[in-house]
Amino acid sequence: MSHLIRIRDLDKEFISTIISEASHFLKNNKIKVDSHKELEGLTVANLFFEPSTRTRASFELAAKKMGAHTINLDINTSSRKKGESIKDTIQTLEAMNVNLFVVRDANQGICDEIATYLRSGLLINAGESTVSHPTQAILDLFTILQVHQKLNNLKIALVGDIAHSRVAASDIEIFTMFGVKDIRLICPKHLQPKEVLPNTKVFHNLAEGISKADVIIALRIQKERFMSNEEIPDEKSYFDQFGITESSLALASPQVMIMHPGPMNRGVEISDSVADGSHSHIVRQVTYGMAIRMAILKKLSSFL
Ligand code: CP
C-alpha cells in the first residue's frame, strides 16, 4: 500500500481498517476533542486545482488536529497559473519535505502521473476528473454502516449525472466490493453510464428506480450538461423528473437514508424539506468525512 488513488487499488481489509480507525475519532457522532499528535513533524500539502469546500476543509482540519503542518495551494495561488508543470510543482514541494499530497484536479490520469514524480511522499486522490473520488466513497460506506451492518440485501439508488460523477464511479466500486448486489443508477438518458457494471441497473424513471430503496444518494447536477438537452431543458424539468422530494420518500423504504456528497443544488436535485428532514444523513456525512480523512492520513503516515 502506498498512494491512495482509487478504490479498486485497495482491498476490503484496508478499507475496514480505515473505517474502524475513523470510529475511534468520533464520540456521539462528533469529532472527539482529544488531541491527536500522530502526524507531528509531518507536512501535508492540499493541492486543490478545482473548487472544494468539504474535502479540502476536512483534510486541512484533519491534518492540523493530528499535529501536521499544512499548506494549501490552488490554481490561483500556485505557479501552475504561470505555466509551471505539475512535475515541477510536486518536486518543488517535495524538496521542502512535504510528506503527504492531497490532490484534486480536473485532469484524468493526473494522480497516476504525480505518483511517478514522488520520491518519498505519498498521494491521496481528493477528486480526479469524472473518474474517481475514493475518500468520498469510503465516507459514504461509513455513513451507511452506521445504520446497516449488513449490506448484501440493501437497495442503493444513485440519482443524477451518473455519466460524469466521480462520486458515483467510486461508490459503485466500494459498494460492490462490500457485497451490495442491488445498485440502481437513476438518470436522464443522456447522463447514463457508458457501460452497465455487474450489480447495477440503469433506470430513467425515478419512481421505478427508488422503489423500496434503503439508501438514496442524490448527486450534484452540473448545469452545463443538461441545459441544452431537449428532454431536460432546464433545472425545473430536472427537478420535476429526478428531484428527491417528500413524494419520493413515500416510494422508498420507510427508513430510507437520504445522502448527498455536496455541494447541493437545493430545488434542483433535492428539495429543502428532504435535505433538512429526518431521513437526511447529509450533515452527518460531512462529520464522518473528517473522521475518515483523519484515519486515512494516520494510516498513510505509517507507510512513510
Ligand atoms: N463532496 C465533495 O467532494 O465536496 P467538495 O467539492 O465541497 O469537496
pLDDT of residue 77: 79
What is the CA(219)–ligand 1 centre distance, in A?
11
Task: Look up cell 447529509; give the residue.
Answer: 282
pLDDT of residue 174: 98
Rounded to whole angstroms, the Cα distance separating 229 from 33 reads 49
Q: Return the best residue to mutate from 49, 53, 105, 167 for the ligand 1 pocket (most ligand atoms within 8 A of CB).
A: 53
Residue 27 has a CB neighbour count (10 Å cut-off) of 11
126 Cα nearest atom in ligand 1: 3
pLDDT of residue 232: 82
In 94-134, the DSSP E strands lie at 100-105, 122-128
57 Cα nearest atom in ligand 1: 8
In sequence order, the 6+-apart residues with CB closer than 8 A to the CB of 282 are 258, 259, 260, 262, 264, 275
- Distance from the first to the final alpha carbon of the chain: 11
pLDDT of residue 60: 97
pLDDT of residue 224: 61
pLDDT of residue 2: 87
Domains annotated for the chain, with CATH where assigned, are: 7-132+286-301 (3.40.50.1370), 148-280 (3.40.50.1370)
Paired residues of 128 in beta bridges: 105, 132
149-173 pLDDT, tens digit each = 999 999 999 999 999 999 999 999 9
Q: In whole angstroms, how far apart are CA 91 and each of 115, 227, 300?
A: 11, 41, 19
Long-range contacts of 196-199 (CB under 8 A, 24+ apart): 197/172, 199/172, 199/175
pLDDT of residue 100: 98
Task: Look up cell 428527491; give the residue.
Answer: 244
* Cβ burial 40-68 (10 Å sphere, 16+ → b, else e): eebbbbbbbbbebebbbbbbbebbebbeb
pLDDT of residue 35: 75
pLDDT of residue 21: 96
What is the CA(216)–ligand 1 centre distance, in A?
18
Ligand 1 proximal residues by C-beta, below 6 Å: 52-56, 127, 136, 261-263
pLDDT of residue 226: 60
Rounded to whole angstroms, the Cα distance separating 237 from 229 reads 11
What is the CA(140)–ligand 1 centre distance, in A?
12
Strand 155-159 to 100-105 pairing: unpaired
Atom 6 of ligand 1: nearest residue by CA position: 52
Strand 257-259 to 215-218 pairing: parallel
Atom 1 of ligand 1: nearest residue by CA position: 261
| Residue stretches of the chain with pLDDT short of 70 | 1, 223-228
pLDDT of residue 213: 98
Q: Which helix (H) or strand (E) holds 202?
A: strand 200-203
Take residue 249 and report the three cell numbers written for it.
420518500
Angle at 304 between CA 86 and CA 60, to 5 degrees: 60
Rounded to whole angstroms, the Cα distance separating 284 from 301 reads 26
